[in-house]
Copies of this chain bind each other. A is one copy, B any other.
Amino acid sequence: MLTLTPLPDIPLVKPGDDLIALIRAGLERAGLALEDGDVLVIAQKIVSKAQGRMVHLAEVTPSPRARELGEITLKDPRFVEVVLRESREVLRAHPNTLIVEHRLGFVCANAGVDRSNVEAQPGDEVLLCLPADPDATCAELRSALGAAYRANIGVIINDSHGRAWRMGTLGVAIGAAGVPALLDLRGKPDLFEHVLQITQVGLADEVAAAASIVMGQADEGRPIVHVRGLPYALREGTAQELFRPKAQDFFR
């Protein structure tokens, strides 16, 4: 049985907050101690806030390219400027749509830059960028929490991304540590000794999506989810495994 438990009563996160202390307190409230094989999924929003990844719209001067894309996408050119600073490449620009390759290597809308849920001062708006290095943050949390509980655990940072071909956003892993992010089933024979056609499973994305179900979307109340019962052994692994190289992508 796989169980996903959102940790209760996580307070709003502010720049400089100690995520490790936050997670440990949440686990205690849930009556959970981390055990070997457990995975924690953490919403990118609280990592970004703890890291102070805010940008004040009033302080942004848009480049000519940002102005041009702002006209095409009908988005505030200052917002577009922040998106471009977080991006390697623009894939699509249409009214209300700006799809980019994020500087971290994955494809998403608006480089994950978010206006929602960030308290604004009057006369200003605050944008929230994705965490600086989600894989590194996952590795730090894994190490510190693993030591605290004497357990071999995995950590995933998730975000909600739109996708090609299908409607609606999906929780995906933008950072990971200690989990088989891309699960390799190549060569494992099936019941009748065929070689499997399906070779690789995006396991960390499946776990990220599962956690997203119980996180909800509209507030910060459940940004940390404890996962127990993953039927695969943990190993070293990062979310980079999940980002398809441009040269191998027929849909860029």
Binding site for B on A (CB under 8 A): 1-6, 12, 92, 94, 97, 99, 106-107, 114-120, 160, 163-172, 182-183, 185, 188-192, 194, 196-198, 200-203, 205-207, 209-210, 212-214, 216-220, 229-231, 241-244, 249-252
Contacts and interface: CB of A to CB of B under 8 A. Distances in A.
A216 B231 contact: yes
B169 A201 contact: yes
Contact of A250 (B99, B115, B250): B99
Given A190-B218, A201-B160, A242 B116 contact: no
Given A117-B191, A165-B244, A207-B213, 10 more contacts: A2-B210, A2-B213, A4-B210, A97-B250, A114-B197, A163-B165, A164-B164, A168-B241, A201-B217, A214-B229
B168 A242 contact: yes
B249 A164 contact: yes
Nearest to A239: B166
Contacts of A202: 163, 166-170
A200 B167 contact: yes
Given A167-B202, A251-B165, A2 B1 contact: no
Contacts of A212: 201, 206
Contact of A166 (B114, B167, B244): B244
A181 to B, nearest CB: 8
B115 A242 contact: no
* Copies of the polypeptide in the assembly: 2
A76 to B, nearest CB: 13
Interface centre among A5, A119, A194 (most CB of B within 10 A): A194
Contacts of A197: 114-116
A119 B116 CA distance: 52
Contact of A94 (B5, B183, B220, B250): B250
A169 B250 contact: no
Nearest to A226: B1
A250 B92 contact: yes
Nearest to A172: B166
Nearest to A206: B209
Contacts of A196: 116, 217-218
Given A168-B182, A170-B206, A205-B168, A117 B190 contact: yes
Interface centre among A163, A229, A244 (most CB of B within 10 A): A163
Interface centre among A99, A116, A167, A205 (most CB of B within 10 A): A167
